A and B are shown apart, each in its own frame.
Chain A
């Protein structure tokens, strides 16, 4: 009989980590690495959105605004004050967190479509500010030539960040950090409180949960990670435009999270990964049809997921895992315990 489950899990995890670290040796071409880095950035976004929507039940359709704020903040700091992009990463997160805190206030009193529209409005207003405050943001043209991450040099070894490969490791670290934090947050007294709030607000109040404080807190934390992702994006793609805050960016995040599985940790990761793969795969069909059907598929997937596969891909995985587990138990022989 193989080792006990905890050890098996650890082993599996180590294996995955090793693979992830070695990945740039296996996939060397820059185009694919670029896609993978973006996949990582989106993973951070989906995880952060999921904290708000999946674990706390707050429908934030303006999430892209936090992404954009983080991106602009880090870019502007680097370009105008010469701040090291490495410091820009948390700075982007913090500024976005502040805006998250702000957005939390309307969320205190609104829900459902009212909250949805308010969050959309919030993002739209910010996008228009980015378009029109040309002195600061260069308007629709956006900020280009954003500095690369400054090189790391330890002895003779260095990371110069000229190529996608180096960004891959930074984003990988970012993703792992996000997963680590999310896991801790969610499996803690804080996480249980959020879910209580989600499942029944009056019930949560009756056990001493201050709804307002918790909502503000979760908006702030969620926005921080989205802003952090934005800052990473800024120094990776080196171009930030108001489009980063557009509604369709939020819709991308939302689709990935829902299809992956709302309210779990695996879901957002799976969603970001699978939909990015799908997206690339569909590009091959783009040559046959004049226009890309990627978004048609996105829309269809979202509808189908909610109608037929509510738990998303994570739910399917769980179902398969349960099935395997019970099948294995069955095979152990028939003596009832």
Chain B
């Protein structure tokens, strides 16, 4: 299988504070890689660098063989990296459908000026482009099972469903790599199973997934491999079972008194 992502010596400083230090790993196409570690270990910072919301202080990121560090979050998406956020960032005043439609827009081919021209001088295709977009959006809503709320304002959605909406929106951009930042946070046990299902479904579509998670049940269940971060450094990597029983990992969690209990 081809390598889809590689980081080399990835490091990030915030002023004098080192959040991520010399992290190197790679991901194969189609796998689900879990990223775990105690609070403050640098997981979100790492994801922010991969999604290019942050520029690394040192090190490289290669996506599909091309340098992608520091190109900017929107460019990263155009290349094929999509993400969800730890605290959901949906477009609250838009409807659920519009949220996904925003993602459906083919931004690889069309910038704002083209969109402006197309909006005022509608292309003569009898509404075909519009219908296709709507169909795609509806299909995605169906995929994440929130079609019921199609015309609701996103801000009226219950929290668990906003996470699904965010995923649908991310999927709408047709990504090759999906970064999930704590997809289970804020969910109750009943909702967790649904979330695991959904992530498997997405992976089944051929999308590579990098998932940060605190909830052990989810991450152990779903990941093909695990990486453990502690104080910004990679301290373990491998199959879930071996990582789980790695003494260094155990100490990192117990030492920090975080939730190994889940």
Task: Classify A-B as touching or not with yes or no (CB < 8 A).
Answer: yes
For the complex with contacts A189-B105, A205-B77, A217-B116, 13 further pairs of A-B residues with Cβ separation under 8 Å are A188-B118, A189-B119, A190-B116, A192-B101, A202-B89, A205-B72, A207-B82, A207-B169, A208-B74, A208-B77, A208-B105, A208-B173, A213-B112
Say whether A261 faces chain B, with CB atoms less than 8 Å apart.
Answer: no
Pair B170/A206 contact, Cβ less than 8 Å: yes
Residues of A within 8 A of B170 (CB): 206-207
Which residue of the partner chain B has the closest CB to A55? B93
Residues of A within 8 A of B53 (CB): 202, 205-206
Pair A193/B115 contact, Cβ less than 8 Å: yes
User: Bound state CA distance, A208 and B175, in angstroms?
Assistant: 11
Which residue of the partner chain A has the closest CB to B179? A206
A153 to chain B, nearest CB (A): 30
Which residue of the partner chain B has the closest CB to A198? B93
Pair B90/A184 contact, Cβ less than 8 Å: no
Pair B103/A207 contact, Cβ less than 8 Å: yes
Say whether B94 faces chain A, with CB atoms less than 8 Å apart.
Answer: yes
Residues of B within 8 A of A211 (CB): 74
Say whether B202 faces chain A, with CB atoms less than 8 Å apart.
Answer: no
Residues of A within 8 A of B190 (CB): none
From A199, A204, A213, A214, give the contact of B93 (CB < 8 A).
Answer: A199
How many pairs, one residue from A and one from B, have CB atoms within 8 Å of each other in the complex? 112
User: Bound state CA distance, A202 and B172, in angstroms?
Assistant: 17
Pair B77/A206 contact, Cβ less than 8 Å: yes
B153 to chain A, nearest CB (A): 11
Residues of B within 8 A of A172 (CB): none
User: Bound state CA distance, A200 and B102, in angstroms?
Assistant: 12
Residues of B within 8 A of A191 (CB): 119
How many residues of A sit at the interface, in one of the four size bands?
20 to 34
Pair A193/B85 contact, Cβ less than 8 Å: no
Which residue of the partner chain B has the closest CB to A191? B119
Please report the total number of B residues contacting A with Cβ < 8 Å.
40
User: Bound state CA distance, A191 and B130, in angstroms?
Assistant: 14
From A185, A188, A193, A206, give the contact of B73 (CB < 8 A).
Answer: A206
User: Bound state CA distance, A200 and B154, in angstroms?
Assistant: 12
Q: Name B98-123 residues within 8 Å CB distance of A.
A: 98-99, 101-103, 105, 107-108, 110-113, 115-116, 118-120, 122
Would A208 and B89 be within 8 Å (CB), given that A192-B105, A193-B102, A217-B112 are in contact? Answer: no
Pair B111/A210 contact, Cβ less than 8 Å: yes
Q: B residues near A, CB below 8 A?
A: 51, 53, 72-75, 77-78, 82-83, 85, 89-94, 98-99, 101-103, 105, 107-108, 110-113, 115-116, 118-120, 122, 133, 169-170, 172-173
Say whether A274 faces chain B, with CB atoms less than 8 Å apart.
Answer: no
Say whether A209 faces chain B, with CB atoms less than 8 Å apart.
Answer: yes
User: Bound state CA distance, A203 and B163, in angstroms?
Assistant: 13
A178 to chain B, nearest CB (A): 12
Q: Would you give 15 A-B contacts (Cβ < 8 Å), ordered by A?
A: A184-B119, A188-B118, A190-B112, A190-B116, A203-B89, A203-B90, A204-B102, A205-B73, A206-B77, A206-B83, A207-B172, A208-B107, A210-B107, A211-B74, A217-B116
User: Bound state CA distance, A220 and B103, in angstroms?
Assistant: 24
Q: A residues near B, CB below 8 A?
A: 181, 184-185, 187-193, 195-196, 198-200, 202-211, 213-214, 217-218, 221, 263
Residues of A within 8 A of B51 (CB): 206
Would A200 and B90 be within 8 Å (CB), given that A190-B112, A207-B170, A209-B74 are in contact? Answer: yes
Pair A192/B102 contact, Cβ less than 8 Å: yes
B47 to chain A, nearest CB (A): 11
Residues of A within 8 A of B90 (CB): 199-200, 203
A220 to chain B, nearest CB (A): 9
User: Bound state CA distance, A185 and B105, in angstroms?
Assistant: 15
Pair A203/B116 contact, Cβ less than 8 Å: no
Pair B94/A199 contact, Cβ less than 8 Å: yes
Would A203 and B85 be within 8 Å (CB), given that A190-B119, A208-B173, A210-B74 are in contact? Answer: yes
Which residue of the partner chain B has the closest CB to A215? B112
Residues of B within 8 A of A181 (CB): 120
B82 to chain A, nearest CB (A): 7
